[in-house]
Amino acid sequence: MSILKIILLIALTKLCTLSLTNADESLLVYTKKINALLSEYHAKNKVAPNPLVDDSVFVRRAYLNIIGRIPTASETIQYIESKDIRKKQKLITSLIGSEGYVSHQYNWWADILRVNTRMQGQSPSNGMAYSNWIKESIRENKSYDNFVRDLITAEGMIDENGAVGFYLRDRGMELDHLATTAQVFLGTQLVCAQCHDHPFDDWSQMDYYELAAFSTPVRSVRRTESMDKAIQIAQKQMKLPRGNKGKASDIRKNKTRQLQRAFQGLTDNFRNSIVRETRTPLKLPDDYQYEDAKPNDIVLPSTPFGQNVKVTNSDSRIEAYANWMTSPDNPRFTKTIVNRIWKKVFGVGLYEPVDKIDDTTKPADAKLMAYLEQLMVDLNYDMRKFNAVLYNTDVFTRESQSFELNVGETFYFQGPRFQRMSAEQIWDSVVSMIRSDLDEVPENSSYSPRLKAWEKLNQQSPEALIKRSREVATFNRETLKKLDQFREQVKEVISKKKEDEALVLAKRILNFNQKATAEYARLTYWDPSDLKGYFRTPFRNTPRALAAELKKAFPGQKYPNLYKQVANSKMKSQAAKKQKGGNQKPRFDKRDRIFRGYVRASEISSPAPDGHFLRDFGQSDRSLIENANYKASTTQALSMMNGDFLKFLMNPNSVISQKMNTAGDSDELIDLIYLTVFSRYPTLLEKSLLRDEAAISGEMAARSILWSTLNTQQFLFIQ
């Protein structure tokens, strides 16, 4: 590189640093305004803010709140020993810009959006695509209004657009989906109005259905728009009259249904993965009992508050819905996200509960709430900037305040609320003592055989789709005919006890299934060499069932695996090389083998399986919005005392174990454990007591002291 390029690079780096610093300084103006409003609020209520915390408490609090884990011993020491007068601001900026922020924000959103990576009746890849889309949106700092807009208007195949998971999460429950959407993004609970006029709010059942009429047409579908066009072309080719009655009409409908079924064969392996806005009307329920309409009347979309939005039949309802939802003029959209973030930072919302905002509820401080709403709009819904403003406030540096969220009690924000870590924070804090690569960006392969097939399908013209659907139908008929022949052969072999022919016949059947599946994949635009996991065919169960009959009748033979992957090993090998780029060997990381499963909570299936540490400590089951449980239990105590994680902490390859093994004496060992677990140095009394423990325990001292500190309330709570 030339000297000129080096000079330019250095200059550019300084310019970017200067710009970042200036941006941070501008945010402090907003922080000072919030500080002034809180001071005014405290004075009005005759309360004083809590004392300031020391550096060790602050650094632990900042790490846990912003990136969801405790700081390492070295991170704590670096912060405590720093003499920089702006070190708090710099730490907050650094943490908010890190991958740990992405992980922790994702956990928060997964709880709010009820993200389930094992959505019932769907491919596991659907849930992962949705999860990865949320993480990437956080990583790129997508503005909140665009984040919500992308979810509301999501369409297409989920491998192509992960936001489609927003609708697939509640597939088949369109009316319920409307209730959760309003609760999440508008802070409004209107689920009661689905069945009757709301008893405590100004919501009628008609209001509910009119709002639902915007989004209920968005559904999981089996056909693409090009297929709809193909059906129209085919209908014209049939040269049948369009009469509504009579034999001709019945013939037309029957042929149309046949064509639709043929098209579904092309998209069979995309089922429960495609979402688009349909023209399906919403009707009132059979038991609708109010005088403003009759049961089963078609409902036209309309908004219950804010700007009155109505759409015609030619307009996109979902686009109009998204425009209304995310508008700064919507009286509850900005208010709700501001309140949710405020609660995440300080433990209590200005409105409580955060999702029961109506015309009668009042915030703790109306002036502060109004300022925060305007600030969010002025920042163009920039989530990182808004978080930075709140974390830099004076109240975040104050001692925490004990408070129970009981009705009628007031929290005066003299400091953040004293609370236990979430299940995800506890888990990630423990894993941070095991792995050093916790905050690296995870490797997510963007390669998807299903997406590749989907793109190829969408490139086809309506005429090509009609031709291919007929080819698929012909192939299926021939395949089923061949399987009928195999069925007769199996009956004959079993009835005549031809044991010597059983194994040969079983292999022929399974080999036929393998070739037929590969051909079916090709006809439906899949690459046969790319088939992985479960691949659906109309004949998938019969070959295995026939081979199983032979195996049961003649168990003495060594039969091939009935569930063998379709693509042969040579094809797989070629596909793998193509995917990885030639003959490159996959990267092998020893830590992945030793500490398998000990990764960020955000990288584990959502929710974690029953019995997992996360579930024992109250992780939400993702069935309800923000359904996590922070209550202590016997299971949690037993898990901390006897859980497998201590074995991994003491593994010679873990971060904490390697550091403890290098400690020069018991004092250094005690300092290391305290700085790691509590983010502080031990007191003189604590150190003197633990010296005696170290002398008694000998080689087991490290394990004993570490176990003791992890089983304290001091570790589990955020001061």
304 pLDDT higher than 70: yes
What's the average model confidence in pLDDT over 427-447?
87
56-60, 167-171, 245-249, 600-604, range with the lowest pLDDT? 245-249
Task: Identify the pLDDT of residue 244.
Answer: 54
Q: What are the pLDDT digits (tens) for 668-692? A: 999 999 999 999 999 999 999 998 8
Kind plus residue range of the DSSP H or E element containing 384? helix 383-391
What's the average model confidence in pLDDT over 128-132?
94
DSSP 417: B
35 pLDDT higher than 90: yes
Residue/partner pairs of 87-95 with CB below 8 Å, 24 or more apart:
88/58, 88/62, 88/392, 88/397, 89/24, 89/28, 89/392, 91/59, 91/62, 92/62, 92/66, 92/388, 92/391, 92/392, 93/20, 93/24, 93/388, 95/62, 95/63, 95/66, 95/67
565 pLDDT higher than 70: no
What's the average model confidence in pLDDT over 449-454?
90
What's the average model confidence in pLDDT over 279-296?
92
Q: What are the pLDDT digits (tens) for 621-656? A: 999 999 999 999 999 999 898 888 889 999 999 999
Task: Identify the pLDDT of residue 253.
Answer: 72
438-452, 466-480, 517-531, range with the lowest pLDDT? 438-452
**pTM of the predicted model, to two decimals?**
0.89
Task: Identify the pLDDT of residue 574.
Answer: 45
Main-chain phi, psi angles of 417, to 5 degrees:
-70, 135
569 pLDDT higher than 80: no
pLDDT bucket at 239, cuts 50 / 70 / 90: low
- Among residues 397, 342, 347, the alpha carbon closest in space to that of 89 is found at 397
> Of the segments 1-10, 215-224, 411-420, which one has the largest average pLDDT value?
411-420
Mean pLDDT of the chain: 87
560 pLDDT higher than 50: yes
Kind plus residue range of the DSSP H or E element containing 218? strand 218-220
pLDDT bucket at 693, cuts 50 / 70 / 90: confident
Q: Are 62 and 421 in contact (CB under 8 A)?
A: no
SS3 string, 61-76, reads: HHHHHHHCCCCCHHHH
